[in-house]
């Protein structure tokens, strides 16, 4: 790949247009715009921001992400999960910022974008892999449930207080059902039912724009706003004005942890879409380049009155299904948004807010996947515990849901270190298939009364050195007359200074006891480390064997001669 294309992916678009044409990009761009406009309004509401902020965030950020990202089918803009994180991050800091929620959202977009851009430029995208799938899915499922709880009251036309206790707020909001506003409830439940029916019965139809347009027309015709119903109201006409995040060190320090969570979670959402689409199109996906694209998109949102953005799984899938090949589809979508902001915003005045709640609920329902949590538990109790703790922690900390993912991240890393400290070590015996396997599992005898074979399935580092030492001492006592412990080291792919020190100490201790240590299957990188340390000349004579069979053929005659 030419360096220019590597750093400026949009330079590869003309070649793809010549090969596949531009019709797919044009159709996909128009289709996604029809869905994105009502979603952008809804997700701005979910973030606690004015509706036009969602439209602004879907404009320049989408163009920037398309130009500099590695996957042309990604549709970048406001998404439900990131919007919830925005609300959870900025609402608690409203007092510190003098009530300027938009300023906090701009600062959050800038910081999270800088984090992603920095990781991408330094080729450190692998750090995001520290967030395991069980932890991420535990968080996503809890966040989706929280979104549903926050949207049920507006769906029914009820007002919901916002405090530090989500369940109490939800319960208090439901108390309004004793005197419901029936038109609001009708719009909310009717729109949700229509969205679900269209998705199941006629999935190829653009359900969201159809329902939103119909509800808006009915609202205007019936006088919904004059009857006490809440509508979107006035959306400023025109393109977004340049903006500047508040340059307050105190605000930066307060919001930085949340910015890290937004950067991490939003990119995992983008990565899941990109991996799936690139796997189907057989196009290369470059994680670090996508970090750069998504980071620049967030930064552009910070300076154009937007909010933190990410790649939408549903809109990206819609982009792909409708034939998008390059980021031109996102440029077409942005062009339609420009037309909407310049000429069509008055048509959105009568859009009922319960309909926006229905749009959010219908979109977020697809995020709930309890099957992933069950599979994580079946695969590993540690993974299952990490997923469960993240899920429960996110619910418990709501609305400060970023604390939930921090809890799961710390737990999963702790469990990873704990598992790494206790690698598998097994004594081997000769199996009937001619290989040396776990003697305890298969009921195999030791290969010789004076020799045992220990297999150590881990690098020998400061994390595992104590376990290796204990296993070696136990192997030396496995039989009454053990004189040699043969270490099957095929699983030992690394050794550090602590491992070398431990091994040298064991060699001295075994020698003092009249015992010896031999090795088979040592890898080159381990031998190289031993040579640099000066340990290799002391053990080379009994450490150059490649297999257990070769080692026993050389060692057993010496043991027999000493009897």
> Is 330 a residue whose pLDDT tops 90?
yes
> Considering just the CA atoms, what is the radius of gyration of the chain in Å?
30
Do residues 319 and 437 both lie within one domain?
no
pLDDT digit string, tens, across residues 72-129 = 889 999 998 899 889 888 988 888 888 899 999 999 999 999 999 999 999 988 877 7
> Is 532 a residue whose pLDDT tops 80?
yes
> Is 174 a residue whose pLDDT tops 80?
no
Has residue 8 been placed in a domain?
no
**pLDDT score at 190:** 92
- What is the rounded CA–CA span in Å between residue 205 and residue 239? 30
Give the β-pairing of 484-488 and 516-520.
Answer: parallel
**pLDDT score at 341:** 94
Do residues 538 and 401 both lie within one domain?
no
pLDDT digit string, tens, across residues 406-445 = 888 888 888 888 888 888 899 999 898 889 999 989 999 9
Query: Residue 554 sits in a domain of what CATH number?
Result: 3.30.750.24
Has residue 490 been placed in a domain?
yes
Has residue 2 been placed in a domain?
no
**pLDDT score at 121:** 92
**pLDDT score at 164:** 64
**Higher-confidence residue: 17 or 473?**
473
pLDDT band at 375 (very low <50, low <70, confident <90, very high): confident
pLDDT digit string, tens, across residues 226-243 = 888 888 888 999 999 999
| Strand partners of residue 429 | 437
Burial of 144 from C-beta contacts in 10 A (0-12 / 13-18 / 19+): buried
| Strand partners of residue 76 | 311
CB atoms within 10 A of CB 168: 11
Domain count, the chain: 2
**pLDDT score at 3:** 63
Do residues 453 and 347 both lie within one domain?
no
**pLDDT score at 70:** 86
CA atoms within 13 A on the CB side of 67: 12
Do residues 146 and 187 both lie within one domain?
yes
> Is 507 a residue whose pLDDT tops 80?
yes
pTM for the structure as a whole? 0.80
* pLDDT, mean over the chain: 87
- Please report, rounded to a whole number, the percentage of residues in the chain having pLDDT higher than 90: 44
Do residues 410 and 431 both lie within one domain?
no
Q: Which of 395, 414, 433 is the last residue of a domain?
A: 414
> Is 473 a residue whose pLDDT tops 60?
yes
> Is 1 a residue whose pLDDT tops 60?
no
Q: Which of 414, 439, 457 is the last residue of a domain?
A: 414
Q: Are 32 and 318 in contact (CB under 8 A)?
A: yes
Q: Between the CA of residue 541 and those of 212, 420, 519, 527, 537, what are the distances in Å?
A: 79, 31, 10, 13, 8
> Is 7 a residue whose pLDDT tops 90?
no
> Is 511 a residue whose pLDDT tops 70?
yes
The H or E element spanning position 152 is helix 133-155
pLDDT digit string, tens, across residues 332-368 = 999 999 999 999 889 889 999 999 989 888 888 777 8
Has residue 5 been placed in a domain?
no
**pLDDT score at 486:** 94
Burial of 488 from C-beta contacts in 10 A (0-12 / 13-18 / 19+): buried
> Is 460 a residue whose pLDDT tops 90?
yes
pLDDT band at 161 (very low <50, low <70, confident <90, very high): low
Q: Which of 380, 414, 448 is the last residue of a domain?
A: 414
Which residues, in sequence order, are CB contacts of 2 under 8 Å at separation 6+? none
Has residue 14 been placed in a domain?
no
Do residues 406 and 467 both lie within one domain?
no
pLDDT digit string, tens, across residues 25-43 = 898 899 899 889 989 998 9
Do residues 336 and 452 both lie within one domain?
no
Q: Which pair of tokens denotes residue 118?
A: 């920095």
> Is 292 a residue whose pLDDT tops 70?
yes
> Is 492 a residue whose pLDDT tops 70?
yes
Whole domain around residue 538: which residue ranges?
A: 425-562
Do residues 352 and 216 both lie within one domain?
yes
User: Residues 527-533: what's their mean pLDDT?
Assistant: 93
- What is the rounded CA–CA span in Å between residue 407 and residue 472? 36
Least confident range of 96-100, 455-459, 499-503: 96-100
User: Residues 536-547: what's their mean pLDDT?
Assistant: 91
| Residue 510 CA to its chain's centroid (Å) | 48
- What is the rounded CA–CA span in Å between residue 241 and residue 237? 11
Helices 80-90 and 402-421 cross at an angle (nearest 10°) of 100
- What is the rounded CA–CA span in Å between residue 559 and residue 525? 30
pLDDT band at 155 (very low <50, low <70, confident <90, very high): confident
Do residues 103 and 229 both lie within one domain?
yes
Q: Are 493 and 523 in contact (CB under 8 A)?
A: yes
Least confident range of 152-156, 160-164, 294-298, 304-308: 160-164
Has residue 276 been placed in a domain?
yes
Q: Most confidently modeled of 97-111, 273-287, 379-393, 407-421?
A: 97-111
Q: Are 93 and 104 in contact (CB under 8 A)?
A: yes
Do residues 46 and 78 both lie within one domain?
yes
**pLDDT score at 313:** 82
Do residues 410 and 430 both lie within one domain?
no
- What is the rounded CA–CA span in Å between residue 277 and residue 323? 12
CA atoms within 13 A on the CB side of 71: 32
Has residue 247 been placed in a domain?
yes
Which residues, in sequence order, are CB contacts of 86 under 8 Å at separation 6+? 47, 48, 49, 105, 108, 262, 307, 308
Residue entry with tokens 């900390």: 397
Do residues 378 and 445 both lie within one domain?
no
- What is the rounded CA–CA span in Å between residue 262 and residue 272? 15
Has residue 243 been placed in a domain?
yes
């Amino acid at each position: 790949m030419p360096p220019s294309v590597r750093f400026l992916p949009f330079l590869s678009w003309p070649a793809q247009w010549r090969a596949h044409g531009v019709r797919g990009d044009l159709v996909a761009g128009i289709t996604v715009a029809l869905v994105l406009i009502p979603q952008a309004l809804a997700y701005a509401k979910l973030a606690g921001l004015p509706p036009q902020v969602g439209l602004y965030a879907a404009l320049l950020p989408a163009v920037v992400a398309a130009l500099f990202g590695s996957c042309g089918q990604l549709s970048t803009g406001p998404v439900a999960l990131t919007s919830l994180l925005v609300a959870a991050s900025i609402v608690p800091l409203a007092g510190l910022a003098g009530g300027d929620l938009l300023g906090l959202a701009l600062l959050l977009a800038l910081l999270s974008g800088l984090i992603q851009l920095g990781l991408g430029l330094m080729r450190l995208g692998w750090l995001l892999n520290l967030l395991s799938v069980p932890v991420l899915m535990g968080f996503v499922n809890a966040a989706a449930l929280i979104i549903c709880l926050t949207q049920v009251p507006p769906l029914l036309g009820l007002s919901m207080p916002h405090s530090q206790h989500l369940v109490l707020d939800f319960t208090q909001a439901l108390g309004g059902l004793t005197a419901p506003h029936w038109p609001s409830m009708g719009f909310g439940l009717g729109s949700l039912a229509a969205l679900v029916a269209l998705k199941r019965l006629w999935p190829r139809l653009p359900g969201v724009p159809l329902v939103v347009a119909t509800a808006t027309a009915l609202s205007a015709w019936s006088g919904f706003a004059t009857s006490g119903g809440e509508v979107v109201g006035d959306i400023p006409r025109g393109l977004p004005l340049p903006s500047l995040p508040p340059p307050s060190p105190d605000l930066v320090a307060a919001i930085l942890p949340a910015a890290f969570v937004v950067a991490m979670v939003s990119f995992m959402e983008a990565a899941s879409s990109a991996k799936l689409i690139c796997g189907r199109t057989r196009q290369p996906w470059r994680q670090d380049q996508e970090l750069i694209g998504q980071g620049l998109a967030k930064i552009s949102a910070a300076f154009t009155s937007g909010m933190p953005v990410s790649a939408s799984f549903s809109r990206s899938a819609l982009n792909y299904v409708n034939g998008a090949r390059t980021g031109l589809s996102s440029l077409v979508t942005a062009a339609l948004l420009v037309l909407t902001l310049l000429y069509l915003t008055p048509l959105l005045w009568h859009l009922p807010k319960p309909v926006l709640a229905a749009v959010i609920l219908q979109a977020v329902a697809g995020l709930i996947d309890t099957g992933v949590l069950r599979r994580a538990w079946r695969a590993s109790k540690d993974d299952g515990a990490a997923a469960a703790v993240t899920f429960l922690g996110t619910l418990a900390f709501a609305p400060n849901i970023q604390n939930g993912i921090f809890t799961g991240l710390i737990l999963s890393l702790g469990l990873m270190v704990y598992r790494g400290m206790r690698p598998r070590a097994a004594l081997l015996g000769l199996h009937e298939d001619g290989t040396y396997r776990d003697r305890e599992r298969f009921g195999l005898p030791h290969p010789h009364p004076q020799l045992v074979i220990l297999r150590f399935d881990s690098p020998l580092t400061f994390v595992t050195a104590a376990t290796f030492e204990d296993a070696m001492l136990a192997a030396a006592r496995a039989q009454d007359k053990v004189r040699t412990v043969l270490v099957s080291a095929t699983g030992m792919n690394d050794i550090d200074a602590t491992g070398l020190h431990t091994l040298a100490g064991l060699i001295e201790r075994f020698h003092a006891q009249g015992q010896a240590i031999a090795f088979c299957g040592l890898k080159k990188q381990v031998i190289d480390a031993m040579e640099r340390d000066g340990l290799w000349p002391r053990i080379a004579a009994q450490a150059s064997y490649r297999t257990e069979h070769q080692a026993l053929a050389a060692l057993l005659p010496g043991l027999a001669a000493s009897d």
